[in-house]
Amino acid sequence: MPREITAFSNPLVKRVRTLRDKKHRRDEGLFLAEGLRILTEAREVGHLPRYLFYTRASAEHALVRPLVAACEAAGGEAVETNADILSKLSGKDNPGAVLGVYDELPASLDRLDRNTAPLWLVAERLRDPGNLGTILRTADATGAGGVILLDDCVDPFSVEAVRASMGAIFTVPFARARWDEFRGWLRSGPGQLVGLSLDTQHDYRAPAYRAPTFLLTGNEAQGMPDFMAAECDLLVKIPMRGKADSLNAAVATAVMAYTVLDRLEQPGTR
């Protein structure tokens, strides 16, 4: 049976609030996800929360009932609370109908199989959680094999990144690695490393891409370091016809992902 919590001083409420901080997420191995769509997608692919918070007003919603039942059947705890506490937990003035506390997902390179997909997205030192969430959504939308996060990227388990991913954090395999580890893994098998760069004359629409293609996007402000660019099998640029010198990192990744996928899906290109 779900229990009811209405006090901000409740120990579980205090504990869950700390998960908005990276240190506490890392120490506990837990993270927060909010919203019916995200939690429902997580359930559909087999991820269920340790704790599920929902309001009395949302208790009878057609999507909340199966979430509560599945959470409890898996040994989790369902908690009925109020909108004020949900707001404190999520950090939003207008919180979603539900909030879940999940175990961190595995994120090692050795769990990825490059042969499962022709396209993979690689991000280097991303700083904006919105960009990371959008790249995860792009990976889901394009059917990419997964997302590989290099060096000191923003935490994929932050509330903002999870929210921006719109559930893709649960549906897209991802890994976190240092550059040297990734380079060794990449060169141990087939794979074309394609870097997005302003320092090249190669138009992104021109090359013949080879599967699996690993599409590398650099840091939002600095781009990728020279030593990474030198390691790429191909550097390409998206021409800019206006005043801006480049696209937002997540937007550029999406443009490139669909372009590469289109080329790879043409007969005789794989």
In sequence order, the β-bridge partners of residue 236 are 196
Q: Which residues of 90-124 are buried (b: 16+ CB within 10 A; e: fewer)?
A: beeeebbbbbbbbeeeebebeebebeebbbbbbbb
154 Cβ contact partners less than 8 Å away, ≥ 6 residues apart: 126, 127, 128, 129, 132, 161
* pTM greater than 0.85: yes
The class that CATH gives domain 3-103 is alpha beta
> How far, in whole angstroms, is CA 263 from its chain's centroid?
25
CA dihedral 115, 121, 122, 126 (to 10 degrees): -160
Please answer whether residues 212 and 190 qualify as being in contact, where contact means their C-beta atoms are separated by less than 8 angstroms.
yes
- Interatomic CA distance for residues 165 and 149, integer angstroms: 15
Residue pLDDT, tens place only, 131-147: 999 999 999 999 999 99
Where do the structural domains in the chain lie, given as residue ranges? 3-103, 109-264
Average pLDDT over residues 169-198: 96
Structure token pair of residue 134? 């959008």
Please answer whether residues 121 and 257 qualify as being in contact, where contact means their C-beta atoms are separated by less than 8 angstroms.
yes
Please identify which residue in the block is written with the tokens 């991802």. 174
- Which CATH code for domain 109-264? 3.40.1280.10
Residue pLDDT, tens place only, 218-248: 999 888 999 999 999 999 999 888 877 778 9
Residue pLDDT, tens place only, 86-138: 998 988 777 778 999 999 999 999 999 999 999 999 999 999 999 999 999 99
Same fold, 3-103 and 109-264: no
